[in-house]
Amino acid sequence: MKYRARNGFSLVELLIVLAVVAMLISVITPLGINAIRKSRAIAISKDLKALSKTFVNKIYLDNEVPRELKELGRDVDSDLFGAGWKISEDGQYDFFVFTNSEADFETVSGVLVDVRRGIPFATDDYVFLDGGLGKEAINTETLYYNLLGGDVAPLTPFGSTFAEISTGLIELLNAKNARTYDPYQYTDLGLNPANWKDKAYEHIVYKPVGNRLQISPESGYKITVKLLYEDSYGTISSTEALMYNIKNDNADKNFWYFKSIQAEPDELVGKKVDISTLKVFKATK
């Protein structure tokens, strides 16, 4: 009896090969995407730092302010980068460089620590360099940086960090008797609702409500914080809040509370927290 040599794959063998290929793709693709993301973040970080360094040299070594973006680098992409400056009240130069290049903020900030994201506050009196992005290009995803690390163009009138923003709002709430409903919960404090309502700064949304200040993570993020006097932690989602008691006589004042302010906490809810342990992180599905 003669047997013919078999050519090609059987259906079962082909399915096995396809399954192996699919498995390899599922493993390799995320690694490749992460590598590309990190590489892009490193490139953006280097560009921002280089532009900022050149800006400093122009001012303090050449004793002049650059007028065009190309003065900061011949190969600067004018469609992706910009820079602005002003002379402060004490006669010093304040400036920042920025980009609208798509890059993951968390990855960039891991490389360039002082980088910020969002719309800088009070840039009306800044002069923006010709030949690059202008003020109108700045949006909530803009990344901006200053080599000197000064408090230049902060995100809010109070600053950019959680400590600065929360302290500023608490002082306002202490000084005024603001109403608790929109838009007066903002306007009674002299705040523009457009700058605060549902708007996140460094992934935190701040909401003044008359006798308390509430904070929540923006959608897609979570907050963890340690319960005061305990070893356990609580987690806050974007639909929940941490609350700072300012004028509620039914509970201890000047404390942060987990989800609600109450004298007798129910399990975790209503317990005081150690706000110094606050951490914001991206929520996982």
**What is the arrangement of strands in the sheet containing 204-209, beginning at the earlier edge strand?**
200-201, 204-209, 212-217, 242-245, 256-258
Q: Is the pLDDT of residue 152 over 80?
A: no
Q: Where are the beta strands (DSSP E) in the chain?
A: 81-87, 93-99, 116-117, 127-128, 143-145, 200-201, 204-209, 212-217, 221-227, 233-236, 242-245, 256-258, 273-282
Question: Looking at the domain assignment, is residue 199 inside a domain?
Answer: yes
Q: What percent of the chain has pLDDT over 70?
A: 91
CA 231 to CA 98: how far, in whole Å?
41
Q: Is the pLDDT of residue 284 over 90?
A: no
Looking at 117, 145, 173, the residue that finishes a domain is: 145
Q: What is the mean pLDDT of residues 91-112?
A: 86
Mean pLDDT of the chain: 86
Looking at 88, 118, 145, the residue that finishes a domain is: 145
Q: What percent of the chain has pLDDT over 90?
A: 51
In this structure, are 127 and 169 located in the same domain?
Answer: no
Which residues form the domain of 112? 33-145
Q: pLDDT per residue over 227-278, tens digit each?
A: 998 889 999 999 999 999 998 888 999 999 999 998 777 777 889 999 999 9
**Can you read off the two tokens belonging to residue 261?**
């302010």
Looking at 113, 145, 177, the residue that finishes a domain is: 145
In this structure, are 212 and 252 located in the same domain?
Answer: yes
Q: Is the pLDDT of residue 149 over 70?
A: no
Whole-model pTM above 0.95? no
In this structure, are 168 and 269 located in the same domain?
Answer: yes
In this structure, are 141 and 195 located in the same domain?
Answer: no
Q: Is the pLDDT of residue 1 over 70?
A: no
Question: Longest Cα pair distance anywhere in the chain, in angstroms?
Answer: 102
SS3 277: strand
Question: Looking at the domain assignment, is residue 17 inside a domain?
Answer: no
- Going from the C-alpha of 206 to that of each of 185, 200, 213, 223, the distances in angstroms are 12, 7, 7, 13
- Choose between 227 and 124: higher pLDDT: 227
**Can you read off the two tokens belonging to residue 70?**
């190309």
Q: Is the pLDDT of residue 184 over 90?
A: yes
In this structure, are 104 and 193 located in the same domain?
Answer: no
In this structure, are 100 and 208 located in the same domain?
Answer: no
Q: Please state the domain count of the chain.
A: 2
Q: pLDDT per residue over 6-53, tens digit each?
A: 555 677 777 777 777 777 666 555 555 677 778 888 899 999 999 999
Question: Looking at the domain assignment, is residue 26 inside a domain?
Answer: no
Question: Tell me, what's the pLDDT at 166?
Answer: 96
In this structure, are 126 and 174 located in the same domain?
Answer: no
